[in-house]
Amino acid sequence: MTAPRYAIGSVIAGLLIAVLSAVPVMAQSQSRPELLSSLRAEREATEARDHARLAELLEDRDALEAALEEIRATHAQTETRHAELQAEAQALNERQAELEARQQEQGDELEAVLALLTRHSSELRDSLADSWVTVGGAELPPRLDDEKVLVLEHLETFSDRLVALTVDTGRVVRFQVPVASASGELVPREVVRLGDFAAFTENSLLRRGAGDQTLSAVERTPREVAPSLTAFHAGESRSLALDPTRGQVISALARRPNLTERFHQGGVVGYVVVGLGAMGLLVALMQYGYLLRVSLAMRRQLRDLATLRKDNPLGRVLLRFRALHDDPVPEALEARLDEAVLAELPKLERGQPLVKLLAAVAPLLGLLGTVTGMIVTFQAITVFGTGDPKMMAGGISQALVTTVLGLITAVPLLFAHTALAGRSRHLAGLVEGRASAALAEQLEQRLRGTDGVTGSARCDAALA
d(Cα 288, Cα 265) in Å, to the nearest integer? 33
In a domain, 108, yes or no: no
In a domain, 29, yes or no: yes
Domain that includes residue 451, residue range = 264-463
Q: Quick check: helix, strand or coil at residue 175?
A: strand
d(Cα 361, Cα 413) in Å, to the nearest integer? 11
CA distance to 301, 306, 325, per residue, from 439 (Å): 18, 16, 9
Q: For the segment 216-272, what is each residue's pLDDT rounded down to a tens digit?
A: 777 777 777 777 788 887 777 777 777 777 667 766 766 777 777 777 878 888 899
Q: In what order do the strands lie in the sheet containing 206-208?
A: 198-200, 186-194, 172-180, 215-217, 206-208
d(Cα 314, Cα 305) in Å, to the nearest integer? 10
**Residue finishing a domain among 38, 67, 84:** 84
d(Cα 57, Cα 462) in Å, to the nearest integer? 180
| pTM: predicted TM-score of the whole model, two decimal places | 0.53
Q: Beta partners for 194? A: 172, 198
In a domain, 66, yes or no: yes
Residue 56 reports pLDDT greater than 80: no
Cβ neighbours of 75 (radius 10 Å): 10
In a domain, 166, yes or no: no
* Stronger pLDDT, 148 or 95, i.e. the higher one: 95
Cα of 133 vs its chain's centroid, Å:
27
**Residue finishing a domain among 84, 107, 130:** 84
Cβ neighbours of 208 (radius 10 Å): 17
Domain tally for the chain?
A: 2
In a domain, 449, yes or no: yes
Q: What is residue 25's predicted lDDT score, i.e. its pLDDT?
A: 41
Q: Name the band, by pLDDT with cuts 50, 70 and 90, for residue 460.
A: very low
In a domain, 296, yes or no: yes
Q: Name the band, by pLDDT with cuts 50, 70 and 90, for residue 105.
A: low
**Residue finishing a domain among 28, 55, 84:** 84
In a domain, 156, yes or no: no
Percent of the chain with pLDDT over 70: 77
In a domain, 21, yes or no: yes
